[in-house]
């Protein structure tokens, strides 16, 4: 065996020949050929990717020296050659090389060859090698290969958990298409019976996915298909596995702390074994212990079994009663409710356990579910003794946590006791005492002298405009609706943080080095670009030394994947990488690719390429588009100073930079800036002056600069038709060119048939249109307002990127108008509505514009807000709750529009009202004002609903609590959809409660909310003055 | 897990810890074992509030048995330290990002026997279940260990738990103490408010971004927005674990530091407290933090270390002034020495008292000593002569060139903040301790190599 033989075997993928040739070799003979084998493997691996991309056939095009060995042109393909090279490494090389070889082959003959090679060689490292191959999520050895090696005595049986994980996935047959060739799992185990003594039992000790999937009786599978669950039970029935040990093992598995789906698997095994009442009874202690589990699945299971024992009069009542308090730590309600049902029966038959029972359930008063609290109160009403001071004391301690709708009942229980004794406890521990119930609050109680004085200081006009005509304040609901302000009429600079430019080259290098590892915000990226633009020619003697590590790091990271880095193979910006390279090493990396990038990134990337072009000539200049304030805003007075400076430097103004600068100017200081801008001559002067409010309109001759004029027009009129622009050659029907985008939306469901299961699924669908148009692929990179409407139609990344900072950067393109950003956000939020938060697909940033106090909420923003509040993504949901909390505080929520939007989304019948209700509950708890606004949103939703969705009871339950908390009544329109509800279900009961609820008076909380809202309204009126 | 990242450790208990009827009456009997397989007997006494203690031990056990980052159930047991004035149970989560401690004051017991020492204690499922059924009206005893226990392999009641203790777990358990002296009390709320707050934390999938805790009136709120004085929390599910503690607690005190994003959650009871400390990120254990590296790399503590260690006699609060007067070292040196001892598992820190306490973690800590890779690498850089002084501005300002794999980094030592051009420094900006290049420069200076 020499190198030529080896090359021939590999070139022709002759693995059998290789194995034959290696069969009799000694270790020293193998060692002689090992280096050649290792080198060949490395070369083939290295060239494999290129070869696949070029021809997909053979490595000879890359590795010419192999060509001479090929017996049949075009055969074999690169994968076969690669596998054969891997087998050669296993046949000849040391463990260090062998550990890198994947031992998983998808062809049977390769597996056989692998076994032969290892069996002939019997390497001393075989056990260590197998342990290596078993590690990781994608194990690199097949179950059949490993078992053959074990059974043939070539290697020892691994004692790692990975071995059991391999069995769980590797032992079952997946040959579903050819049903006659399918071998049931139990047959396979019987063919390898030693598994029954050890490995099978380890499925209950090791976290695998064995019991997670149970597809028995599935139409697409062979009739004799067996899952692990079915197989285990079959083997038990056949007496091959001890039934009692299996039941015990399944129960032991439930205390393992594994993932929930794994625990559900153990429950499936237990239930499939169908333990008899006697078998359950013998294990009663274990089931009682399972009530302690941190998994609600397991507790549900234990309660189901204990209920069965109760039905058969075998329940250990005392132990059950003593265990009940722990169940109230579970956040869902079904488990505590099931336990309370059992408890009710126990207390009837065992009065001696009443005291223990009552002590056990008092913690249930603080459960999040009103239903649980209500059930606990019912038991207390029936069984509590007025002399049970300990229990009543404990109830008083929990009183503030009990739902409003249950406060009267709990007060009745407390009142049974001696009031004088408890008054002190009430005062110390509760926000309201019994005496509070007798106090009448009214408008006067909350209209302080200060409020009166502030109102009287307002001018009559303003008082009238804002409905603050004291002493008779008009208490109609509209008083609390936000004003519809035009963003261009506002002064926003005072509320914005100033962006500090980078001072010197040292700071710039440090900022770049940090952003290469992690980008903190899009503004940081703008600081870097501005820094390079201004400081690119300021390189002292230390620059090269300090820049070298940064440049090398940028080069390296540019080849790697990563979402939150300034440069990366995917998810970063190519243009930024080019800019860094140009500045740090004077090397341009990429040609200018105007149309290669889609969507708004086309504008951003081209803007940076323009800067790189200048930096490559070592020309420094201020960046027009560098934000002076957070969220991308530019003070127009500063912009004018920058333009004047560039003009003085005699540097051409880059069009992308100018367009970006125009779209970022704040509504503030425009008049002053216009005056200063008169010093700017030429077309740039005319354009900036128009943006700032000058009368001069574009004419026919301005067509060459139509992109700049468009940006100026949109900077001046973000939401209106640009009537002055009719003479410019612009594609009129594209959104946000001459006409502003006009949005319409519908909520529905999309039908989807799963090809495998043939089941029909319905996916939530929300179609948002910004007009009837088709944006051409070659739309100019200088039309960012149009590019903002270009979205990816296939992937979740609506703007062709999943980086949070890149999306934030996109929204800074046009801070005045973020409607297209909201529309993109709706798509992203909907696509992840049922998924937990993910670092790879962040969506929270689409909500961020709503945090800006000067911004009015549009219909699209209410859509995004609703989707986030009802989604599972905790980042988006948490931020949406913060937004609602803050917006209510500064009177920005238009509850009528919000309620109407929710009703529109509800039409699609996919909105998860339970999740929306949880979010609303959280907001309503913040203050009486928040409770009031949430109550009004729900009422607005109701009044826009013709009929109620099935899960409306979640929202109605909250509404009921809020109405009682505030003491308000519902009007006729709001009541309308409730009138038509029939039946005795949860929704019907709540509808009835709401319709019959007639509070005697408005509550303390109502007037607190009123006072708060009046104050906010006065704040607004004062700022308007 | 390869042997290089974990130690094989066997918990060998003479019996199974349990709650039930014993010779002495109803109570909780905890089995003990320490690193050299001894089974000490520390404590015997009557519990004054069994329910409350049961709650605290359960939550402690939940922390120890949870890996908050990956679904890998660890099998570690808590550690108990006993002295005349306090019993402390300590535990560390499997992911190395959550430290928990139960401090039981003298008010918690009527003690018959209270010896000094630290040991592991057996926690098992039946005992956990029984703990939930303890009631304050119960007359209950606690014993930690048992008199005259002889371990015999033939003894059927013997409990043997073989585990692989990840090195980073032992290291983190020790290093977590280094953060505590920097913690400041930020917020304090009643138990009712605390419960409302803990229950408002999102269930299911936790946020991937950091959350912030703010106080709004009397109430606490978790938000996604950083505000002035808000407390940063990553992995909010790690604090949800406190939920069962507020039934009989007096209140909640929240601590955090200014620089590292570490927070601590102290549930206060009449009989003691439950202390939970969480790392800055879910995926970052305390073991990787390296806050003591600089102390380990330089300073005068080395000469003081042995003398300070000799003064440790299982005190529940170490009096630094007293040790200072006994050893002749100044307070700063004593504090540095205690911080280093803490990082070696020989002292813990009690934030609310602002004092160290003595205990010896019952593991083979010699191995941990070797596990400061950054420090080791820094020393290697000096050995291999890869560090060169570029510029000495004065006795506090230096520039160094430190050779890396394919690039030379520049280290700038400055009184306000040291800087390096390496990716580690660039990413964390010093928040996770100094990089190996800065450490090497510090050692270089400390060794007087910069003197002209």
In this complex, the residue of B65, B223, B409 whose CB is nearest that of residue A549 is: B409
Q: Whole-angstrom Cα distance, residue B133 to residue B140?
A: 12
Among residues A591, A307, A897, the alpha carbon closest in space to that of A905 is found at A897
pLDDT > 60? residue A423: no
DSSP B12-29: EESS--EEEEETTEEEEE
**CA distance to partner chain A, nearest, from residue B132 (Å):** 7
b/e map A863-893, b = 16+ CB within 10 Å: bbbbbbbbbbbbbbbbbbbbbbbbbbbebbb
A236-248: average pLDDT: 96
The pLDDT of residue B36 is: 72
A292-312: average pLDDT: 92
- Lowest-confidence region among A442-446, A577-581, B210-214: A442-446
Reported confidence tier of residue B368, pLDDT bands at 50, 70, 90: low
pLDDT > 70? residue B73: no
- Lowest-confidence region among A302-311, A857-866, B145-154: B145-154
Which three-class secondary structure state does DSSP give residue A482?
Answer: coil
Reported confidence tier of residue A58, pLDDT bands at 50, 70, 90: low
In this complex, the residue of A289, A516, A545 whose CB is nearest that of residue B125 is: A289
Q: Read off φ and ψ for residue A206, nearest 5 degrees.
A: -115, 140
Reported confidence tier of residue A690, pLDDT bands at 50, 70, 90: very high
The answer to whether A669 and A691 are in contact (CB under 8 A) is no
In this complex, the residue of B66, B71, B244 whose CB is nearest that of residue A258 is: B71
Distances (CA, A) of A220 to A78, A175, A214, A223, A229: 35, 12, 13, 9, 18
Q: Whole-angstrom Cα distance, residue A489 to residue A972?
A: 38
Kindly state whether B228 is in contact with chain A, defined as any CB-CB distance less than 8 angstroms.
Answer: no
pLDDT > 60? residue A63: yes
With CB atoms and an 8 Å threshold, state whether B426 touches A516.
yes
- Lowest-confidence region among A864-878, B9-23, B152-166: B152-166
Q: Whole-angstrom Cα distance, residue B349 to residue B178?
A: 8
**CA distance to partner chain B, nearest, from residue A225 (Å):** 30
In this complex, the residue of B62, B192, B206 whose CB is nearest that of residue A401 is: B192
Give the pair of three-digit tokens for residue A922: 């959280």
The pLDDT of residue A559 is: 75
Q: Read off φ and ψ for residue B13, nearest 5 degrees.
A: -105, 145
The pLDDT of residue B174 is: 78
Which three-class secondary structure state does DSSP give residue B44?
Answer: strand
The pLDDT of residue A981 is: 86
- Most A CBs within 10 Å, among B19, B75, B133, to test the A interface: B133
Reported confidence tier of residue A348, pLDDT bands at 50, 70, 90: very high
The pLDDT of residue A445 is: 61
pLDDT > 90? residue A251: yes
The pLDDT of residue A592 is: 47
User: Residue A750: how many CB atoms within 10 A of its CB?
Assistant: 12
- Most B CBs within 10 Å, among A257, A288, A851, A888, to test the B interface: A257
pLDDT > 60? residue A470: no
The pLDDT of residue B369 is: 58
The answer to whether A23 and A118 are in contact (CB under 8 A) is no
Nearest-Å Rg of the Cα atoms of chain A is 36
Among residues B385, B384, B387, the alpha carbon closest in space to that of B422 is found at B387
Q: Rounded to an integer, what is the distance from CA A861 to the centroid of its chain? A: 18
The pLDDT of residue B25 is: 81
The pLDDT of residue A152 is: 94
pLDDT > 60? residue A595: no
B311-328: average pLDDT: 88
**Searching chain A, which residue's CA lies closest to the CA of residue B55?**
A326
DSSP A542-559: THHHHHHHHHHHHHHHTT
B291-315: average pLDDT: 78
- Lowest-confidence region among A1016-1025, B377-386, B394-403: A1016-1025
Q: Whole-angstrom Cα distance, residue A792 to residue A599?
A: 8
What percent of chain B clears pLDDT 90, i.e. is strictly above it?
Answer: 25
Reported confidence tier of residue A428, pLDDT bands at 50, 70, 90: low
Reported confidence tier of residue B425, pLDDT bands at 50, 70, 90: very high
Q: Which chain B residues contact residue A326 at CB under 8 A?
A: 132, 244
Q: Whole-angstrom Cα distance, residue A847 to residue A793?
A: 21
**CA distance to partner chain A, nearest, from residue B246 (Å):** 10
Reported confidence tier of residue A433, pLDDT bands at 50, 70, 90: very low
The pLDDT of residue B74 is: 63
Q: Residue written as tokens 């390429």?
A: A609
**CA distance to partner chain B, nearest, from residue A874 (Å):** 5
Kindly state whether B132 is in contact with chain A, defined as any CB-CB distance less than 8 angstroms.
Answer: yes
A353-379: average pLDDT: 92
What percent of chain B clears pLDDT 70, i.e. is strictly above it?
Answer: 89
**Searching chain A, which residue's CA lies closest to the CA of residue B429?**
A514
Tens-place pLDDT, residues A513-563: 999 999 999 999 999 999 999 999 999 889 999 999 999 999 888 777 778
Kindly state whether B324 is in contact with chain A, defined as any CB-CB distance less than 8 angstroms.
Answer: no
In this complex, the residue of B126, B128, B216 whose CB is nearest that of residue A926 is: B216
Tens-place pLDDT, residues A201-212: 999 988 888 998
Residue, of B83 and A301, whose pLDDT is higher: A301
Mean model confidence pLDDT for chain A: 87
Sequence-separated (6 or more) residues with CB below 8 Å from residue A40 = A6, A7, A10, A85, A88
Q: Which chain A residues contact residue B133 at CB under 8 A?
A: 319, 322-323
Tens-place pLDDT, residues A78-115: 778 888 999 999 999 999 999 888 777 767 778 899 99
A159-166: average pLDDT: 90
pLDDT > 50? residue A480: yes
- Lowest-confidence region among A6-10, A805-809, A831-835, B301-305: B301-305
Reported confidence tier of residue A437, pLDDT bands at 50, 70, 90: very low
- Lowest-confidence region among A19-28, A331-340, A663-672, B240-249: B240-249
Q: Write out residues 54-113 of B within 8 Å (CB-CB) of A.
A: 62, 65-66, 71-73
According to DSSP, the β-strands at B231-233 and B263-268 are: unpaired
The pLDDT of residue A78 is: 76
How many Cβ pairs within 8 Å bridge chains A and B? 127
Residue, of A77 and A960, whose pLDDT is higher: A960
Q: Whole-angstrom Cα distance, residue A294 to residue B61?
A: 12
pLDDT > 90? residue A345: yes
Q: Whole-angstrom Cα distance, residue A359 to residue A392?
A: 10
The pLDDT of residue A323 is: 87
A850-867: average pLDDT: 94
């Amino acid at each position: 065996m020499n190198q030529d033989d080896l090359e021939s075997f590999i070139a022709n993928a002759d693995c059998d020949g290789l194995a034959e040739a290696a069969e009799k070799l000694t270790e020293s003979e193998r060692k002689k050929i090992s280096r050649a084998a290792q080198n060949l493997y490395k070369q083939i691996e290295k060239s494999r990717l290129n070869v696949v991309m070029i021809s997909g056939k053979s490595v000879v095009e890359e590795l010419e020296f192999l060509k001479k060995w090929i017996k049949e042109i075009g055969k074999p393909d690169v994968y076969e050659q690669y596998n054969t090279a891997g087998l050669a490494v296993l046949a000849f090389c040391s463990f260090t090389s062998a550990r890198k070889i994947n031992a998983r082959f998808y062809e049977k003959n390769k597996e056989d060859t692998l076994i032969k090679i290892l069996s002939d060689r019997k390497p001393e490292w075989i056990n260590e090698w197998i342990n290596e191959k078993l590690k990781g999520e994608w194990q690199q050895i097949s179950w059949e290969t490993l078992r053959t090696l074990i059974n043939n005595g070539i290697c020892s049986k691994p004692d790692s958990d990975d071995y059991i994980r391999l069995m769980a996935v590797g032992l079952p047959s997946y040959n579903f298409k050819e049903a006659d060739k399918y071998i049931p799992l139990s047959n396979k185990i019987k063919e390898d019976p030693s598994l029954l003594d050890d490995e099978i039992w380890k499925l209950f000790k090791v976290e695998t996915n064995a019991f997670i999937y149970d597809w028995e009786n599935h139409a697409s599978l062979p009739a004799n298909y067996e899952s692990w669950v079915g197989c285990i039970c079959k083997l038990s029935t056949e007496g091959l596995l001890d039934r009692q040990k299996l039941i015990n093992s399944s129960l032991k598995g439930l205390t393992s702390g594994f993932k929930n789906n794994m625990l559900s698997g153990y429950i499936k095994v237990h239930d499939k074994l169908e333990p008899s009442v006697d078998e359950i009874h013998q294990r009663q202690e274990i089931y009682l212990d399972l009530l302690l589990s941190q998994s609600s699945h397991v507790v549900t299971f234990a309660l189901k079994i204990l209920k069965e024992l109760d039905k058969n009069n075998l329940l250990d009542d005392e132990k059950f009663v003593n265990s009940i308090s722990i169940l109230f730590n579970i956040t869902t309600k079904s488990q505590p409710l099931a336990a309370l049902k059992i408890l009710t029966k126990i207390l009837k038959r065992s009065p001696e356990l009443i005291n223990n029972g009552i002590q056990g359930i008092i913690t249930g008063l603080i459960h999040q579910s009103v239903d649980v609290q209500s059930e606990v109160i019912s038991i207390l009403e029936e069984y509590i003794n007025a002399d049970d001071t300990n229990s009543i004391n404990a109830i008083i301690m929990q009183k503030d946590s009990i739902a409003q709708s249950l406060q009267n009942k709990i007060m009745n229980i407390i009142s049974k006791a001696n009031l004088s004794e408890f008054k002190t406890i009430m005062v110390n521990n509760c926000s309201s005492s019994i005496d509070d119930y007798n106090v009448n609050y009214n408008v006067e109680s909350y209209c302080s002298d200060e409020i009166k004085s502030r109102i009287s200081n307002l001018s009559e006009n303003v008082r009238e405009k804002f409905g603050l005509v004291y002493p008779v304040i008009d208490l109609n609901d509209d008083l609390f609706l936000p004003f519809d302000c035009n963003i261009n009429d506002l002064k926003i600079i005072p509320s914005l943080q100033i962006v500090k430019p980078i001072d010197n080259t040292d700071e710039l290098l440090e900022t770049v080095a940090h952003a290469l590892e992690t980008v903190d915000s899009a503004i940081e990226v703008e600081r870097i670009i501005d820094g390079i633009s201004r400081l690119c020619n300021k390189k002292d003697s230390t620059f090269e030394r300090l820049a070298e590590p940064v440049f090398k790091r940028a080069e390296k990271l540019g080849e790697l994947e990563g979402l939150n880095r300034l440069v990366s193979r995917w998810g970063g910006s190519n243009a930024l990488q080019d800019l860094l390279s140009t500045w740090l090493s004077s090397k341009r990396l990429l040609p200018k690719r105007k149309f290669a990038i889609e969507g708004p990134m086309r504008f951003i990337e081209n803007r940076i390429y323009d800067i790189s072009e200048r930096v490559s000539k070592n020309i420094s200049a201020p960046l027009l588009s560098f934000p002076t304030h957070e969220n991308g805003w530019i003070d127009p007075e500063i912009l004018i100073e920058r333009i004047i400076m560039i003009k003085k430097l005699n540097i051409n103004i880059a069009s992308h930079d100018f367009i970006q600068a125009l779209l970022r100017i704040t509504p503030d200081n425009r008049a002053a800036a216009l005056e200063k801008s008169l010093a700017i001559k030429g077309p740039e002067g005319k354009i900036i002056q128009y943006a700032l409010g000058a009368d001069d309109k574009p004419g026919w001759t301005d067509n060459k600069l139509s992109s700049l004029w468009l940006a100026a027009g949109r900077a001046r009129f973000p939401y209106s038709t640009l009537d002055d622009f009719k003479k410019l050659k612009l594609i009129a029907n594209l959104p946000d060119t001459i006409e502003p985008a006009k949005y319409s939306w519908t909520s529905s469901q999309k039908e989807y048939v799963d090809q495998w299961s043939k089941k029909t699924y319905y996916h939530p669908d929300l179609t948002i249109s910004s007009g009837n148009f088709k944006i051409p692929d070659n739309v100019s990179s200088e039309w960012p307002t149009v590019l903002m409407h270009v979205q990816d139609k296939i992937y979740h990344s609506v703007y062709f990127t999943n980086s949070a900072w890149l999306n934030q950067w996109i929204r800074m393109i046009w801070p005045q108008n973020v409607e297209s950003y909201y529309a993109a956000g709706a798509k992203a939020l909907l696509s992840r509505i049922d998924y937990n938060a993910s670092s790879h697909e962040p969506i929270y940033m689409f909500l961020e514009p709503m945090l800006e106090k000067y911004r009015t909420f549009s219909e699209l923003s209410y859509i995004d807000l609703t989707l986030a509040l009802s989604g599972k993504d905790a980042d988006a949901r948490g931020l949406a709750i913060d937004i609602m909390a803050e917006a209510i505080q500064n009177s920005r929520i238009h509850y009528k529009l919000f309620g109407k939007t929710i009703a529109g989304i509800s039409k699609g019948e996919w909105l998860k009202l339970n999740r929306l209700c949880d979010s609303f509950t959280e907001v309503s708890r913040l203050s009486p004002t928040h409770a009031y606004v949430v109550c009004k949103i729900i009422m607005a939703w109701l009044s826009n609903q013709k009929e109620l969705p099935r899960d409306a009871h979640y929202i109605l339950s909250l509404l009921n609590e809020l109405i009682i908390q505030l003491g308000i009544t519902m009007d006729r329109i709001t009541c309308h959809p409730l009138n038509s509800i029939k039946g005795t279900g949860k929704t019907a009961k709540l509808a009835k409660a709401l319709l019959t609820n007639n509070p005697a008076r408005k509550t303390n909380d109502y007037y607190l909310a009123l006072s708060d809202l009046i104050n906010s309204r006065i704040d607004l009126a004062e700022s308007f003055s | 897990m390869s042997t290089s990242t974990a130690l094989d450790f066997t918990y060998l208990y003479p019996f199974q810890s349990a709650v039930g009827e014993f010779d002495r009456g109803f109570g909780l009997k905890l089995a003990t074992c320490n690193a050299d397989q001894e089974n000490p007997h520390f404590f015997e006494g009557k519990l004054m509030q069994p329910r409350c203690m049961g709650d605290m031990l359960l939550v402690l056990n939940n922390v120890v048995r949870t890996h908050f980052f990956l679904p890998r159930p660890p099998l570690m047991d808590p550690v108990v330290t006993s002295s005349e004035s306090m019993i402390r149970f300590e535990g560390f989560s499997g992911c190395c990002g959550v430290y928990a401690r139960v401090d039981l004051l003298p008010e918690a017991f009527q003690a018959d026997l209270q010896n000094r020492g630290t040991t592991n204690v057996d926690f098992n499922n039946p005992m956990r279940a029984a703990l939930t059924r303890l009631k304050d009206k119960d007359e209950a005893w606690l014993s930690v260990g048992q008199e005259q226990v002889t371990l015999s392999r033939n003894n059927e009641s013997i409990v043997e738990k073989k585990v692989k203790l990840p090195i980073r777990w032992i290291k983190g358990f020790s290093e977590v103490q280094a953060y505590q002296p920097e913690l400041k009390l930020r917020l304090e709320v009643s138990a009712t408010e605390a419960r409302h707050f803990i229950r408002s934390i999102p269930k299911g999938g936790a946020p991937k971004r950091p959350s912030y805790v703010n106080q709004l009136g009397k109430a606490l709120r978790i938000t996604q927005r950083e505000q002035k004085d808000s407390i940063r929390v990553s992995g909010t599910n790690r604090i949800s674990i406190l939920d069962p503690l507020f039934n009989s607690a007096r209140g909640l005190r929240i601590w955090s530091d200014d620089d590292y994003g570490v927070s601590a959650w102290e549930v206060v009871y009449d009989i003691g407290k439950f202390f939970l400390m969480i790392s800055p990120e879910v995926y970052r254990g305390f073991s990787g933090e390296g806050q003591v590296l600089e102390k380990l790399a330089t300073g005068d503590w080395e000469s003081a270390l042995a003398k300070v260690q000799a003064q440790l006699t299982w005190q529940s609060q170490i009096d630094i002034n007293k040790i200072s007067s006994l050893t002749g070292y100044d307070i700063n040196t004593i504090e540095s020495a205690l911080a280093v001892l803490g990082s070696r598992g020989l002292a813990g820190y009690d934030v609310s008292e602002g004092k160290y306490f003595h205990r010896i973690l019952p593991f083979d800590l010699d191995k941990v000593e070797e596990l400061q890779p950054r420090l080791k690498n820094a020393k290697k850089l000096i050995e291999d002569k890869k560090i060169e002084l570029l510029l000495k501005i004065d006795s506090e300002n230096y520039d160094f060139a430190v050779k890396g794999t394919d690039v030379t980094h520049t280290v700038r030592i400055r009184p306000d903040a040291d800087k390096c051009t390496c990716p580690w420094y660039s990413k964390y900006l010093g928040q996770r301790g100094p990089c190996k290049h800065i450490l090497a420069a510090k050692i270089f200076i400390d060794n007087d190599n910069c003197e002209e």
